[in-house]
């Protein structure tokens, strides 16, 4: 009699726990997608800024045509639609954004070599806006990585890994800074020269 109730009771508890785990996985996945869309909102701001920056740069930076063309191509790649539910598509989208960010950083660093460009009021304002936008992108990236960290922990740790497999919830890629220059130690001598 007791066993008659204990077995279905345990099965019910296991089912409820499993359902709870499933719900938390879906909540985390949706939070990561929400964070990804926040990243896209911020990337859009950078995206809108690029044509103006390129137009200004073209006026002065004749020798950097290769870099300007590369930025234009990367902008087009970032603009391509992608599926937010496919981790590999998300990774490719984030890779393109990262490359665009690196090249824009290079562009502004090279602008230091062009005194006329540096002195242009519009360029100064554009650079300030760019820094503002980069600040927001960095914040959105931190939000996204935090949400992805939570999701990936839940997906990769047992028994979450089993339930995630059934529910087809997959880990998502982190949006990491891919700028080797930023990881290198700064030489004060070079900066102060």
Partner 1 sequence: MTAASPHPGFTDRLAGFDGHWRSIEPELRRIEAGRWISLVGGGVLCVLALPAFVLGIALADWLFDPAAGSDGPWLAGALLGAGTFMVGGYIAHAPSRNAGLLIKERVARFLGFSYQEDASDFPLGAFDGGDILPSYSGKSLQDHIRGEVSGVPIAMCDAELTERRGSGKSSRTVTVFRGPLVVSVFPKPSAGRTIVVPDGGAIGNFFAGRGQDVGQRVKLESPDFERAFEVYSSDQVEARYLLTPTMMERLLAFRARFGSRIRLAFAERQLLIAIDDRRDWFPDPGLFQKLTDPALVREQAEEIARITEIVETLKLNAETRI
Q: Which is nearer to partner 1, 57 or 147 (CB)?
A: 147
Q: Mark residue 82 as left, alpha or beta (left: phi above 0; alpha: psi -120 to 50; beta: remaining).
A: beta
Q: Which is nearer to partner 1, 57 or 175 (CB)?
A: 175
Is the CB of residue 42 less than 8 Å from the CB of residue 175? no
Residue 147 beta carbon to partner 1: minimum distance, rounded to whole angstroms: 9
Residue 69 beta carbon to partner 1: minimum distance, rounded to whole angstroms: 31
Number of alpha carbons in the 13 Å side-chain half-sphere of residue 177: 13
Q: Which is nearer to partner 1, 12 or 26 (CB)?
A: 26
Q: Which is nearer to partner 1, 70 or 150 (CB)?
A: 150
Round to whole Å and give the CA distance between 124 and 119: 7
Q: State the burial class of residue 140 (Cβ atoms within 10 Å of its Cβ: 0-12, 13-18, 19+).
A: buried
SS3 136: helix
Residue 68 beta carbon to partner 1: minimum distance, rounded to whole angstroms: 27
Which positions touch partner 1 (CB under 8 A)?
Answer: 35, 38, 42, 131-132, 135-136, 138-140, 142-143, 146
Residue 135 beta carbon to partner 1: minimum distance, rounded to whole angstroms: 6
């Amino acid at each position: 009699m007791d066993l008659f109730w204990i077995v279905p009771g345990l099965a019910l508890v296991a089912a409820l726990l499993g359902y709870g785990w499933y719900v938390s996985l879906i909540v985390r996945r949706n939070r990561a997608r929400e964070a990804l869309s926040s990243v896209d909102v911020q990337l859009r701001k950078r995206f809108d800024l690029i044509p103006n920056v390129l137009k200004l740069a073209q006026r002065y930076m004749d020798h950097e045509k290769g870099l300007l063309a590369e930025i234009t191509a990367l902008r087009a790649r970032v603009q391509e639609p992608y599926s937010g539910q496919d981790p590999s598509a998300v990774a490719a989208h984030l890779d393109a954004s990262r490359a665009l960010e690196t090249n824009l950083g290079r562009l502004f660093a090279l602008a230091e070599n062009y005194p006329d460009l540096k002195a242009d009021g519009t360029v100064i304002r554009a650079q300030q806006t760019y820094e503002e936008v980069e600040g927001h992108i960095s914040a959105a990236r931190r939000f996204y990585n935090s949400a992805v960290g939570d999701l990936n922990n839940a997906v990769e740790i047992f028994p979450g890994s089993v339930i995630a497999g059934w529910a087809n919830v997959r880990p998502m890629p982190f949006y990491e800074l891919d700028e080797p220059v930023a990881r290198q130690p700064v030489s004060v001598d070079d900066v102060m020269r």
